[in-house]
Amino acid sequence: MKNEIIGYVGSGQFKKEDAQKLTGINLAFGELHNDGSVTVQGRIDKINLIPRIREWNPNLRIILSMVQAQRDAFTVCCATEEMRRKAAASLAEAAVKYDLDGIDLDWEYPCVPSNGSAVSPDDKHNFTLFCAEIRKALDAIGGKKHYLTIAAGADLYYVNCVELPDLMEYLDYINVMTYDLKCGFHALAGHHTSLFSKNADVFMNSCAQALAVFEAAGVSADRLLMGAAFYSRKWEDLKDDENHGLLVLCPHGGGYGPDYELLVKEYLNKNGYTEYWDEEAQAPYLFNGSTFLSYDNPRSLKAKAEYCKEKGYGGIFYWEHKCDGTGTLLDTLYQAFQS
């Protein structure tokens, strides 16, 4: 894979010019249930738009991204051979029914209970068996190629909780979620999707660092996609006059901030906020004296795209399409990979 631009698309507008700049979209979301069934309608308002999207860009890859309907659905569906076969058959049926190019599994995360999931240590091996069964079911459809991908947590914990590179026998690529690297788990205000790590950061992580972890675990660079954020993270009630809020301890973790479109309208050098650029991290941030905002902008996305091309990574994907109605960020990625 090379120079991929993949957007997670749920609600909100999706236009012809968007389809023509993307190589793929992940429809967010389908739901996997404890009985192995799959539901789509009601979660994705773009499912009925697929025929028109095909007209706009016949080469666009349309993949259904799956989350769990119950907090233990992935664990249950992975646990036995019977359930793996049943769930895999349901996913293949959905691919045929909705004219999809594949399935993306957004399990956050095997073996990891921190995100509210009910998990098991057995998830580690069962996830590999589950992907093998899905791969078999998708291949049995015939006709065009059907892709199987996953969204992966961007740190060592994820690599430790799955079987890499065994999984790559069945997966086409991995969307490494290099955003929320600073989030509600962190009371230290900082970059949530920076390209590079900062030496002074005691919770050091970044896009480059995360992808290197996956490479070290045996995944080839061209099958790794870097994540970009079309939204911000924020830390409030900071008391800092020296560092503009960067790497300052906050009374609480980082919440969700405004989407990029709203940042442009109301925050970028407006209403008391000043925008700064961190050369070391290759990332922007905003500070108004008490609130710190971290996000991607055109400059950081250009840097990410250039880095992906330099290192041979598969490309960039982003969450989420509706967060930038201006189209600026998608156009930035498109132009960066055209050059």
Q: What is the CATH number of the domain that holds 149?
A: 3.20.20.80
276 lies in a domain?
no
C-alpha to C-alpha distances, 318 to 8, 230, 296, 309, 315, nearest whole angstrom: 6, 7, 10, 17, 10
Single-letter amino acid code for the residue at 193: T
**Domain span at residue 14?**
4-230+294-338
281 lies in a domain?
no
107 lies in a domain?
yes
Residue ranges of the chain with per-residue pLDDT less than 70: none
SS3 content of the chain, % helix, strand, coil (to 5): 35, 25, 45
How many whole angstroms separate alpha carbon 207 and alpha carbon 7?
17
Single-letter amino acid code for the residue at 10: G
88 lies in a domain?
yes
Residue corresponding to tokens 């009985």:
35
Domain count, the chain: 1
The vertex-190 CA angle with 27 and 119, nearest 5°, equals 50
How many whole angstroms separate alpha carbon 201 and alpha carbon 205?
8
Contact 77, 40 (CB under 8 A): no
Q: Minimal CA–CA distance to 297: which of 311, 286, 313?
A: 286
C-alpha to C-alpha distances, 156 to 106, 275, 281, nearest whole angstrom: 17, 31, 20
284 lies in a domain?
no
Query: Could you say which of 93, 108, 215, 280 is catalytic?
Result: 108
Q: What H or E segment, with its residue span, contains residue 103? A: strand 102-105
89 lies in a domain?
yes
85 lies in a domain?
yes
Contact 50, 89 (CB under 8 A): no
Contact 65, 30 (CB under 8 A): yes
C-alpha to C-alpha distances, 17 to 53, 204, 276, 327, 328, nearest whole angstrom: 10, 37, 31, 9, 12
End-to-end CA distance of the chain: 17
Catalytic residue check, 108: yes
Beta partners for residue 9, in sequence order: 27
How many whole angstroms separate alpha carbon 137 and alpha carbon 91?
8
Paired tokens of 73: 């659905």
Contact 281, 246 (CB under 8 A): no
Contact 26, 335 (CB under 8 A): no
126-146 pLDDT, tens digit each: 999 999 999 999 999 999 999
Predicted TM-score (pTM) of the model is 0.97
Q: What is the pLDDT of residue 118?
A: 95
Task: Say which DSSP state 202 is in.
Answer: T
Peptide bond before 113: cis, by omega within 30 degrees of 0?
A: no
How many whole angstroms separate alpha carbon 44 and alpha carbon 29?
6
22-59 pLDDT, tens digit each: 999 999 999 999 999 999 977 778 899 999 999 999 99
